[in-house]
Amino acid sequence: MYELKQVGTNSYYIESPAKIGIVRLSKTEVCLIDSGSDKDAGRKVRQVLDANGWHLCAIYNTHSNADHIGGNKFLQGRTGCKIYAPGIDCDFTNHPLLEPSFLYGGFPPRDLRHKFLMAQESSAEPLTEGVLPEGMSMIPLPGHFFDMTGFRDADGVVYLADCLSSRETLEKYQIGFIYDVAAYLDTLETVKNLRAPVFVPAHAEATDQIAPLAQYNIDKVHETADRILSICETPQIFEAVLQRLFLDYGLTMNFEQYVLVGSTVRSYLSWLKDTGRMEAIFQDGQLLWKTVQTGLS
């Protein structure tokens, strides 16, 4: 773990729970794509940089999930590097309490205010094409989180952040975190058609062929949607839908899984309602979700 892998003339990543990209800008200067999950990850990244005689000038965060920005504060404090994050995610990076608050839907209990869901604050600026090094470009990847962005560097290597999960992860957990299902599917269709010498997803193996994994992720989204539609053939409150999914998939309920899977299921329900396949019924002081029956005589 935290082994340096070279994938291009000036392109690298650090093997870690969420892969950290490194792009060499000169003989001694580098930038990072994300920073790892916490201070310890930041310290290990610093050791890799020092071992190669590299100076860190900037961190480009793909999005603001804690496992991608957790090393920001340590590395910024040690190197004085600039940090950039895209769109709304810049606000979440500067104010990490927003993440567990968003997931929970109110002020989060102490059980959710920890490093897995809430990184330490760092000082981030808005990510734009204008702040990128020469030869590096942004690839919008919305869906998993608000304004998630990937990158293509001067070697053509594409860093894909969390826009897809490995087969092993999806087979184990079944439901990957998604904020906007429609945008997520559009992103995966875009990724299927990208070409690059190497793709570096944060949570899957680096590869030169990304389309099969992108299609697998698309198929899992539709599989989950079909299961939710089946559950809601009779009107269901949200908690009943969530319970059925946890039981059907053999998932273990705790606070973290409740908010992560729960937030995702709410996003599925929104998408299914917006696409006319689900309706919301307010009855007896409850919000019930009901599958819209089509093709019936």
Domain 228-291 has CATH 1.10.10: yes
**Angle formed by the axes of helices 181-192 and 255-274, to 10°?**
80
| Pair of tokens at residue 235 | 């009107």
Residue type, 91: D
Cα–Cα distances in angstroms (integers) from residue 50 to residues 20, 31, 43, 73, 78, in the given order: 16, 13, 10, 18, 12
State the Cα–Cα distance between residues 218 and 221, nearest whole angstrom: 5
pLDDT of residue 294: 81
Do domains 3-162 and 228-291 share one topology? The answer is no
Residue written as tokens 């340590």?
Answer: 74
Distance of CA 226 to the CA centre of its chain: 23
Superfamily of structural domain 3-162: Ribonuclease Z/Hydroxyacylglutathione hydrolase-like (3.60.15.10)
Q: Which two tokens stand for residue 225?
A: 């949607």
User: What is the mean pLDDT of each successive set of 10 residues along the chain, which is 297 residues long?
Assistant: 96 97 98 97 98 98 98 98 98 98 98 97 97 98 98 98 97 96 98 98 98 98 98 98 97 97 98 98 98 75
pLDDT at 208 (0 to 100)? 98
Q: Where are the domains of the chain?
A: 3-162, 228-291
> What is the pLDDT at residue 297?
40
Strands 125-126 and 82-85: parallel
How are strands ordered across the β-sheet holding 286-291?
236-237, 286-291, 278-283
User: Which residues, listed in sequence order, are joined to residue 32 by a DSSP beta bridge?
Assistant: 22, 59
Indicate the Cα dihedral angle 256, 141, 204, 197, nearest 10°. -170
- CB neighbour burial string for 46-55, b if at least 16 within 10 angstroms, e if fewer: bebbeeeebe
pTM, rounded to two decimals = 0.96
Which DSSP state fits 119?
P
CA angle 205, 158, 86 (to 5 degrees): 110
The one-letter amino acid code at 28 reads T
